[in-house]
C-alpha cells in the first residue's frame, strides 16, 4: 500500500499529513537525510469537523487532495493551529479559500503571529487557559496551553473521548513515515526510531526548550489527563509506546547522564585529529565511552544529540586566521543557543605559528558556563609522543572528574 491517501488513526480521526523527502535542511539548518513528516489530522464528529494543524506549503496539493477525499472542504468547521511555525500552517491560507466558514482556533500569542505571517482576516476562536472545549458531536476537543513547545504560542489539543493528545512538535521525530500507516505499532524497530530519529529531532528543535518539556508533562499529570494515544505533528502516532516516548523526552530534558564523553573536533590536515586516538584511550581507561565527531564530516546536530546525556566533552580546534576553526565556532554557537553548557570540558588543538584558538575556545566555553578541566592543550604542528600522552591524561582526568561530579561510578 502506498502512502498516497489519508490514513486512519481511529474512528473518525484521519491522518491527512504528508511526507517530505525533498527538503534538505529542516528549519534551513538541520540535515534530514531520511526526510520528515508533517502530520495533520482531520477529526470528524457527528455534527462538525476539525482539521488539526496543517503542513508545509511545499506539499499543499497533496494535503488538500487528502482532505478532499474524506470531506468537502467547505464542511470544515474548525482549523486548529496548535503552533504557528509554517511547517504546520503555511497551507492554511489556501485551505481557507475552500473552507471559508471555518473558524481558526489558536492561542492569543498564535493569533498575533498568524496575522503577521499571513496578513489575512478570518474568523477565529482564541483559546485562553486550559478549560476551553469544542464539541464536534461525540468528539470533544479540549485545548491545553503548552508554551514553548516549541514557540511561545503553542498549545496541545486533547480529544477527550479517545484520550488522544495532539501535541504538535512535542514528541515528534525526524524521518518520513512508512507507507500505509502512521502508527508506532507498524514501525519496524520503534525503539531504534525513538532513540535515533526522535532524539535527533529533540536535539535540534527542542533541546533549548528542555525546562518547558518538563513543565508540560507535569501539567498534563496535574490536570489528570490520561494519554492513550499521542499524536504529534512529526513522526509516528504512539498508541503502544506512549510511555516510552514520554520517558525518553523526559530523560533528555532532565538530563539523565551516562558515562560518556563527546569529542567533537575540527581538523584541516589531520594534525588536531592525531589527538583523538589517545583521547579515546584516556576516556576508556576512566570507564567511559568516547563518541568522536570530525566536524568536517558530521553535522552538528549529531553532536547535540549525543551531548544530551553526556556529562563532559573535549573539543579540538586548529587555529584558523588567528581564530577558532569555523566548524567548531558553529558548534559553540549552537551549544550556547541550546543551553547545553552545564558540563565539564577540555580543549586541544594543533596550530602553525600563532596558536590562539585553543585558548580562545577555552575562554568562550567558560563564559558559556562550561567547567574547564586542565589547561588547553595547544601544540605546534604535529603532536609528539609526549603531547599524545598529555592528551590521554587530560581525557582521563576530564572523564573521571565529570563522572564523579554526576555520581556515575
Ligand X SMILES: Cc1cc2nc3c(=O)[nH]c(=O)nc-3n(C[C@H](O)[C@H](O)[C@H](O)COP(=O)(O)O)c2cc1C
Q: Considering beta carbons, is residue 336 or 356 the nearer one to ligand X?
A: 356
With CB under 6 A as the contact rule, the residue among 54, 56, 267, 401 that binds ligand X is 267
Which of ligand X, Fe ion, none sits in contact with 169, Cβ below 5 to 8 A by type?
A: Fe ion
Subset of residues 80 to 109 that bind Fe ion, contact rule: CB under 5 A: 85, 87
Which residue shows C-alpha cell 503548552?
146
Q: Measured from the CB of residue 272, what is the shortest distance to ligand X in angstroms?
A: 3
Q: Is residue 302 part of the contact set for Fe ion (CB under 5 A)? A: no
Alpha-carbon dihedral of residues 84, 47, 10, 201, nearest 10 degrees? Answer: 0
Whole-number Å distance between alpha carbons of 310 and 408: 11
* Cα 397–Cα 400–Cα 402 angle in degrees, nearest 5: 105
With CB under 6 A as the contact rule, the residue among 25, 120, 268, 404 that binds ligand X is 268
* Site size for Fe ion (CB under 5 A): 4
Q: Is residue 68 part of the contact set for ligand X (CB under 6 A)? A: no
Whole-number Å distance between alpha carbons of 231 and 63: 17
* Cα 323–Cα 325–Cα 329 angle in degrees, nearest 5: 90
Copy the grid coordinates of residue 208.
533549548
Q: Is residue 29 part of the contact set for ligand X (CB under 6 A)? A: no
Subset of residues 332 to 361 that bind ligand X, contact rule: CB under 6 A: 350-355
Q: Considering beta carbons, is residue 100 or 296 the nearer one to ligand X?
A: 296
Q: Considering beta carbons, is residue 108 or 381 the nearer one to ligand X?
A: 381
Which of ligand X, Fe ion, none sits in contact with 87, Cβ below 5 to 8 A by type?
A: Fe ion
Phi first, then psi, for residue 394 (nearest 5°) are -60, -45
Whole-number Å distance between alpha carbons of 187 and 177: 8
Which of Fe ion, ligand X, none sits in contact with 100, Cβ below 5 to 8 A by type?
A: none
Neighbours of 353 (CB within 10 A): 8
> Nearest to Fe ion by Cβ — which residue?
85
Q: Measured from the CB of residue 357, what is the shortest distance to ligand X in angstroms?
A: 7
CB 37 within 8 A of CB 20: yes
Q: Considering beta carbons, is residue 255 or 383 the nearer one to ligand X?
A: 383
Q: Is residue 326 part of the contact set for ligand X (CB under 6 A)? A: no
Which of Fe ion, ligand X, none sits in contact with 85, Cβ below 5 to 8 A by type?
A: Fe ion
Whole-number Å distance between alpha carbons of 296 and 268: 8
Copy the grid coordinates of residue 192.
531504534
Neighbours of 162 (CB within 10 A): 18
By rule CB under 6 A, what string of x and - marks binding of each residue 225-254 to ligand X?
------------------------------
With CB under 6 A as the contact rule, the residue among 108, 137, 270, 287 that binds ligand X is 270
Q: Measured from the CB of residue 358, what is the shortest distance to ligand X in angstroms?
A: 10
Q: Measured from the CB of residue 326, what is the shortest distance to ligand X in angstroms?
A: 10
The CA distances from residue 66 to 3, 8, 63, 95, in Å, are 11, 12, 5, 12
What is the DSSP-derived secondary structure letter of residue 99? -
Whole-number Å distance between alpha carbons of 139 and 402: 51
Copy the grid coordinates of residue 281.
584511550
Query: Which helix (H) or strand (E) covers residue 66, if one does?
Result: helix 60-70
Q: Considering beta carbons, is residue 164 or 332 the nearer one to ligand X?
A: 332
Q: Measured from the CB of residue 299, what is the shortest distance to ligand X in angstroms?
A: 19
By rule CB under 6 A, what string of x and - marks binding of each residue 271-290 to ligand X?
xxx-----------------
Whole-number Å distance between alpha carbons of 233 and 173: 9
Subset of residues 162 to 221 that bind Fe ion, contact rule: CB under 5 A: 169
Whole-number Å distance between alpha carbons of 118 and 104: 13
Q: Considering beta carbons, is residue 158 or 325 the nearer one to ligand X?
A: 325
Q: Considering beta carbons, is residue 108 or 352 the nearer one to ligand X?
A: 352
Q: Is residue 294 part of the contact set for ligand X (CB under 6 A)? A: no
Judge residue 251's burial from the number of C-beta atoms within 10 Å of its C-beta, 0-12 exposed, 13-18 middle, 19 or more buried.
middle
Q: Is residue 91 part of the contact set for ligand X (CB under 6 A)? A: no
Subset of residues 379 to 398 that bind ligand X, contact rule: CB under 6 A: 381
Please report how many Cα atoms fall inside a 13 Å half-sphere around the Cα of residue 86, on the Cβ side. 14
Q: Is residue 20 part of the contact set for Fe ion (CB under 5 A)? A: no
Residues near Fe ion (CB under 5 A): 85, 87, 150, 169
* Contacting residues toward ligand X, per CB under 6 A: 267-273, 318-322, 350-355, 381
Amino acid at each position: 500500500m502506498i502512502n498516497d491517501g489519508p490514513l486512519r488513526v481511529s474512528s473518525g480521526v484521519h491522518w491527512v499529513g504528508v511526507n517530505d523527502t525533498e527538503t534538505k535542511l529542516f528549519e534551513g539548518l538541520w540535515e534530514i537525510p531520511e526526510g520528515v513528516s508533517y502530520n495533520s489530522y482531520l477529526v470528524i464528529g457527528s455534527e462538525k469537523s476539525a482539521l488539526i494543524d496543517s503542513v508545509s506549503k511545499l506539499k499543499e496539493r497533496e494535503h488538500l487532495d487528502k482532505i478532499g477525499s474524506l470531506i468537502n472542504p467547505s464542511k470544515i468547521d474548525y482549523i486548529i493551529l496548535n503552533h504557528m511555525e509554517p511547517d504546520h500552517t503555511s497551507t492554511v491560507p489556501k485551505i481557507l479559500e475552500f473552507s471559508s466558514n471555518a473558524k481558526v482556533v489558536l492561542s492569543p500569542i498564535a493569533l498575533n503571529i498568524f496575522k503577521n505571517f499571513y496578513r489575512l482576516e478570518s474568523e477565529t476562536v482564541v483559546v485562553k487557559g486550559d478549560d476551553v472545549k469544542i464539541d464536534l458531536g461525540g468528539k470533544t476537543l479540549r485545548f491545553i496551553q503548552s508554551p514553548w513547545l516549541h514557540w511561545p504560542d503553542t498549545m496541545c489539543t486533547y480529544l477527550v473521548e479517545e484520550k488522544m493528545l495532539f501535541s504538535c512538535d512535542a514528541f515528534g521525530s525526524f524521518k518520513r513515515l512508512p507507507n500505509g500507516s502512521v502508527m508506532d505499532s507498524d514501525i519496524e524497530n520503534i525503539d531504534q526510531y525513538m532513540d535515533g530519529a526522535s532524539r535527533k529531532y529533540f536535539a535540534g528543535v527542542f533541546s533549548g526548550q528542555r525546562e518547558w518539556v518538563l513543565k508540560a508533562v507535569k501539567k498534563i499529570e496535574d490536570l489528570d489527563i490520561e494519554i492513550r494515544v499521542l499524536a504529534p505533528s512529526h513522526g509516528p502516532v504512539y498508541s503502544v509506546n506512549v510511555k516510552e516516548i514520554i520517558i525518553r523526552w523526559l530523560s533528555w530534558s532532565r538530563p539523565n547522564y551516562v558515562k560518556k564523553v563527546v569529542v567533537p573536533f575540527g581538523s584541516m590536515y589531520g594534525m588536531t585529529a592525531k589527538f583523538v586516538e589517545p583521547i579515546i584511550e584516556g576516556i576508556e581507561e576512566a570507564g567511559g565511552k568516547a563518541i568522536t565527531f570530525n566536524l568536517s564530516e558530521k553535522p552538528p546536530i549529531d553532536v547535540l544529540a549525543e551531548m544530551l546525556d553526556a556529562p563532559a566533552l573535549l573539543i579540538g580546534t586548529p587555529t584558523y586566521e588567528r581564530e577558532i576553526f569555523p566548524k567548531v565556532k558553529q558548534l559553540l554557537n549552537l551549544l550556547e543557543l541550546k543551553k547545553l553548557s552545564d558540563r565539564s570540558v577540555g580543549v586541544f588543538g594543533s596550530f602553525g605559528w600563532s596558536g590562539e584558538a585553543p585558548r580562545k575556545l577555552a575562554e568562550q566555553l567558560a563564559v558559556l558556563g562550561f567547567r574547564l578541566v586542565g589547561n588547553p592543550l595547544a601544540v605546534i604542528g604535529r603532536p609528539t609522543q609526549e603531547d599524545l600522552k598529555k592528551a590521554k591524561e587530560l581525557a582521563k582526568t576530564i572523564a573521571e572528574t565529570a563522572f564523579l561530579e554526576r555520581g556515575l561510578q
